[in-house]
Structure 1
Amino acid sequence: MKKLALKIIEKSGAFSLFNRFTRNTATIFMLHRTTRKQKPGEHLLTTDTLHDFLDYLHKHNYRVVPLSVYVDALINKEDTYKTVVFTVDDGYRDFYLNAFEIFREFKYPAAVFLTGDFIEKRLFLWWDKIEYAINSTAHEEINLEFLGEGAIPITEKRQKNEVILKIVSYCKKIGNQQKLQIIDNIIGSLDVDLTGQPEGIYEPLNWSEIEEMSSDGIEFFPHSKTHPILSHISRDEKEIELGQPKKIIEDRLKKSANIFCYPNGQPDDFDQETIEILRSSGYIAAVVGYEGFDSSKDEIDLFRLRRFPVPSDLYHFKQYVSGLEYFKRRLRSN
């Protein structure tokens, strides 16, 4: 909804009128990156905004529960009135540096999905490779012949961002080996050294930080081994991608890691074979990357639990958690 309309609802105190629509469902939010201060051109969740979100939930008596508790509630058909769940994808270190202290302040849980080889420091996430190469190169243009476009200038930040988005979008649609080869070709053509480990904004969590957070209310689950589009790889590759990170997390933390997050998580990014392997590997549920609510009153596909990208302002946050968004979607479906 438009922010003006949400402000009117806020001033009239009408958000609470929609709370009855939160019964038997929950709002699951999906976070990726957090920052203490927004830089020009960035669209990351700031710590101030996150603090405002959690403070609102605390003051208005919402239940913020671990993802595992919500999955159990769905299985057992329990009421989930005014329930919110936070999930965090990939395993970047900025969650520990920026967001963890805010969750700890409110004693609220979150579920972090770890990309196995990234955490084990064997992997520079593939989209970060593209971004790093284009932002770091001394070259003033890039050859996008593989997209049918030829040489494109990348001297300005806007040009770089457009090219990064274009390449990443294309790479999500092609086979895994073809994607990796294209990225290697880009890095080579731009004369960028990517032989070291990810640092700075690209740095992963380390196990000391993971263990500390695990003992303080944060859950950890697998997000695959190397973050491929699972529908683009073979069954044998899927078994490795789904099985290895689960074993690593469970061995390190001595806790169950039986909920999965599909890389990218759109409907075409995984298939029924993926779900069959998840079940046989001991997983009980999985979250996707597209929007929606799941209700314990309905027949639920536990391997397609829907989430919402965390909004950028408090008014839209209230829209999602209050029941207003659920009410809107129900109206549209009738």
Structure 2
Amino acid sequence: MYHSVSEHLDDHLHPYYRTVTTPERFEQQMCFLSQSGYEVLTLSEAVRLLQEMSLSNKSSQEKSTSVKSFNYQRPVAVITFDDGLRDFYTTAFPILEKFAFKATVFLTSGLINKTFLTGYECLKVQEIKELVKSNVEFGSHTVNHPQLKKLSKDEIVYELIKSKQMIEEIIGYPVSLFSYPYRFPEENAAFTKMFGMILSDHGYTAGVTTSIGLSTVDDIPLFLRRLPVNDCDDLQFFRAKLAGCYDWLHKGQLTYKRLRAILCNY
């Protein structure tokens, strides 16, 4: 999970909350993936792979031809970018091209051609169209990047439908991927159930969250976990995250969220 690849670091924040990675650090990380033999897929490819692997675990049927091109002996990674910032086009994409890596970018559709909440420039329409031709995959990150949990159901539906429509008009193909803005309220079972139904009802088939960890065949496709990455991730830390050594943090966070939710209700 990346956001910005830029020289303008947000080092005034605690390392856990930073979202900026310098170009030098980003290239180091991509070089590590390449040298370690990772197969980098788009999110939609990875979700299809997880689903096929899940089916193969449940039956003895042969894997479908749609995933026979994937090498199951190689580690697999998906590189995602939230917010739709312009430095993806100017800085991150040229580095990805150098390694022939794919990426999935989630656009805040109402801020295309504008400035993001943090002051960074967002992607322009023409840049998005160019990236589509270079096989960059796009998904929705809502229209306005709101705290969805604080919205009414109708407002949530608007954010999902409108952003989908706006992005589809630019890229020319259906949008089926979604990235949840801000902290994902996984401790709230009622909300996540309702939100998952809204996503499904409006054409979304997979999505990612801010929940930490490696995604597995047992995860719900609409609420996949990710590994947050920023400039603090040197190669040792980056390697450890990819190996699953960061996944323990998810259990601790989820327990904390549930306890806080209980206490807030008193």
Q: TM-score range by the shorter chain?
A: 0.7 to 0.9
Pick 1 or 2: higher relative contact order, CA cutoff 8 A, min separation 6: 1
Look up the match of 1:289: 210
Separation in structure 2 between the aligned mates of residue 80 and residue 283 of structure 1, nearest angstrom = 30
Q: Over aligned residues, Cα RMSD in angstroms?
A: 2.6
3-state DSSP of counterpart to 1:267: coil
Structure 2 Cα separation of the partners of residues 107 and 118 of structure 1: 28
Gaps of 5+ in 2: 55-71, 253-266
Q: Which has the larger radius of gyration?
A: 1
The residue aligned with 1:52 is: 28
Inter-partner Cα distance in structure 2 for 1:281 and 1:39: 36
Corresponding residue for 2:94?
101
2:128 counterpart SS class: helix
Q: Which residue of 1 aligns with 2:2?
A: 31
Please say if residues 109 and 142 of structure 2, whose CA atoms lie closer than 8 Å, have aligned partners that are also in contact.
Answer: yes
2:150 and 2:247 map into 1 onto residues whose CA distance is: 36
Structure 1 residues not aligned, in runs of 5+: 1-29, 129-200
Of 242, 256, 268, which aligns to 2:174?
Answer: 256
How do 1:237-252 and structure 2 match up within 5 A?
237-252=155-170
Aligned residue in 2 for 1:277 = 198
Read off the aligned partner of 1:223 and give its amino acid letter: H
CA deviation after TM superposition for structure 1 residue 35, in Å: 1.1
Shift in Å, 1:265? 3.7
- 1:86-235 to structure 2, matched below 5 A, reads 86-119=79-112, 121=114, 125=116, 127-128=117-118, 201-235=119-153
Tell me, yes or no, if the aligned pair for 1:108 and 1:217 is still in contact at 8 Å.
no
How many residue pairs were aligned?
A: 224
TM-score, length-normalised on structure 2?
Answer: 0.76
SS class of match (1:95): helix
User: Which whole-Å CA distance do the structure 1 matches of 2:51 and 2:224 have between them?
Assistant: 12
For 1:301 and 1:39, the matched residues in 2 are separated by: 32
Q: Would the alpha carbon gap of residues 51 and 252 (structure 1) be closer, same or farther in structure 2, given more than 3 Å must change? A: same
Contact 2:214 2:244 (8 Å CA) reproduced: no
CA contact (8 A) 2:178 2:206 kept: yes
Cα distance in 1 between the residues matched to 2:73 and 2:86: 31
Is it true that 1:70 corresponds to 2:46 in the alignment?
yes
CA contact (8 A) 2:213 2:247 kept: no
Q: Is the 8 A contact 2:78 2:103 kept in 1?
A: yes
Question: TM (normalized to structure 1)?
Answer: 0.61
Which of 224, 228, 233 is the matching residue for 1:305?
Answer: 224
SS in structure 1 opposite 2:80? strand
Counterparts of 1:99 and 1:276, CA distance in 2? 34
Deviations 1:288-312 (A, max 9, x none): 112022222x3x3112100111152
